[in-house]
Amino acid sequence: MEIRLTVDDDFMDRLKEESGIENSTQLVSEALSLLKFAVAEARKGRVLISADEDGENVKRIVIPSLEPSLQAKFNGSEN
């Protein structure tokens, strides 16, 4: 499938530099893979967290588009 979208050049350049990914297609593919994982976890009623290497300083990762998935799971109305 081909998807066309407009993304700020500076944003993509910084993201590629910070991630070490040189190819835009690979960057988008990996980002979508992470979103797929996040959706699957949300549908199981799980939350995503980030922590330092020692498991300390835990922060919840909030992705607004996943909130409906969580609500569907808790209301018993999964798609």
User: Could you state, in order of their start, the residue ranges of all structural domains in the chain?
Assistant: 9-75
pTM of the model: 0.74
- 3-state DSSP helix/strand/coil percent for the chain, to nearest 5? 55, 10, 40
Please choose, from the candidates 7, 79, 17, 15, the residue with its C-alpha nearest in 3D space to the C-alpha of residue 43. Answer: 79
Q: What is the pLDDT of residues 20-43, one digit of tens each?
A: 999 999 999 999 999 999 989 988
- Tokens representing 18 are 């910070």
Q: What is the pLDDT of residues 38-77, one digit of tens each?
A: 989 988 888 899 999 999 999 999 988 887 656 666 566 5
